[in-house]
């Protein structure tokens, strides 16, 4: 089975519910895209709890194996992030408990009380980004392609490369971007639960929405690394 690629933009930017459905339909690249989308989130949970890299990878594999089994019976597929976080926490603590009384190579035992307090990632931020990705899918067409190219991957996009890839004159990218931002803000305004995202984007960067959109798509707000 081939992984998701830029040749499958509908899959890359599909909502969680659509992506789960495509996995169940055994669409090429769907499972790989789902794992790519959430592997960092799942992996971060056991690492925050103090597990080693190898242990975190084992937890992540176990979580995604559980997802394969449970996917068909999931009732609310749009809450996939919450499901993954819950299962990852459960699997990570199971790993911690299994070795709590076992000596480490240094002779110490693992004490759960010594683990970091901040064990749960910002699920609200993940959900906001997923909402914006769904809005991109609803927007579709040239605006979806342009906004994704501009804001998904890097802080300083290469306009020349984007123009070449999308067949657009460089001078038209800026005005088209502004029109597309206004359009996606209108899409967001009509989506349930997206009012706060719309208001935040509307107030960002003098109303252009650039800063808010960058943060929602890539997770990189102003000053983020």
Q: d(Cα 154, Cα 78) in Å, to the nearest integer? A: 27
Q: Are residues 21 and 52 in the same domain?
A: yes
Residue-number span of the structural domain to which 170 is assigned:
124-218
pTM value is 0.54
Q: d(Cα 15, Cα 27) in Å, to the nearest integer? A: 15
Q: Are residues 29 and 112 in the same domain?
A: yes
Q: Are residues 78 and 160 in the same domain?
A: no
Q: Are residues 147 and 166 in the same domain?
A: yes
Q: Which of 90, 120, 150 is the last residue of a domain?
A: 120
Q: Which of 92, 120, 148 is the last residue of a domain?
A: 120
pLDDT in tens, 104-144: 445 444 444 344 444 455 667 777 777 787 788 888 899 99
Q: Are residues 77 and 173 in the same domain?
A: no
Q: What is the pLDDT of residue 216?
A: 53
**Does residue 191 belong to any structural domain of this protein?**
yes
Supply the CATH number for residue 84's domain. 1.10.1740.10
Structure-model confidence comparison of residues 208 and 91, the more confident one: 91
**Does residue 1 belong to any structural domain of this protein?**
no
Q: Are residues 136 and 109 in the same domain?
A: no
pLDDT at 201 > cutoff 70: no
Q: Are residues 137 and 107 in the same domain?
A: no
Query: How many domains does the chain fold into?
Result: 2
Q: d(Cα 177, Cα 174) in Å, to the nearest integer? A: 5
Q: Are residues 27 and 107 in the same domain?
A: yes
**From 3-17, 151-165, 184-198, the region with the lowest mean pLDDT:** 3-17
Q: Are residues 141 and 55 in the same domain?
A: no
Per the DSSP assignment, residues forming a β-bridge with 109 are 103
Reported as a pLDDT band with limits 50, 70 and 90, residue 153 is low
Classify the C-alpha dihedral 196-13-150-180 as positive or negative.
negative
Classify the C-alpha dihedral 90-92-93-95 as positive or negative.
positive
Q: d(Cα 211, Cα 185) in Å, to the nearest integer? A: 13
């Amino acid at each position: 089975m081939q992984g998701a690629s830029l040749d499958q933009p509908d899959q890359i930017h599909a909502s969680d519910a659509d992506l789960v459905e495509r996995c169940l339909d055994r669409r090429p690249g769907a499972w790989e895209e789902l794992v790519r989308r959430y592997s960092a989130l799942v992996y971060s949970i056991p690492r925050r709890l103090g597990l080693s890299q190898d242990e975190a990878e084992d937890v992540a594999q176990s979580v995604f194996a559980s997802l394969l089994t449970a996917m068909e019976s999931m009732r609310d597929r749009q809450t996939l992030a919450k499901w993954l976080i819950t299962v990852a926490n459960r699997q990570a603590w199971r790993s911690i408990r299994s070795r709590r009384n076992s000596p480490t190579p240094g002779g110490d035992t693992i004490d759960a009380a010594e683990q970091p307090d901040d064990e749960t990632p910002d699920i609200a931020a993940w959900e906001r980004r997923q909402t914006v990705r769904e809005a991109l899918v609803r927007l579709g067409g040239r605006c979806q392609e342009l906004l994704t190219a501009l804001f998904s991957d890097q802080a300083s996009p290469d306009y020349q490369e984007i123009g070449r890839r999308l067949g657009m004159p460089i001078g038209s990218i800026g005005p088209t971007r502004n029109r597309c931002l206004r359009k996606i803000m209108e899409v967001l305004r009509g989506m349930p639960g997206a009012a706060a995202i719309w208001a935040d984007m509307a107030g960002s960067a003098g109303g252009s929405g650039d800063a808010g959109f960058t943060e929602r798509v890539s997770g990189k707000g102003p000053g983020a690394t």
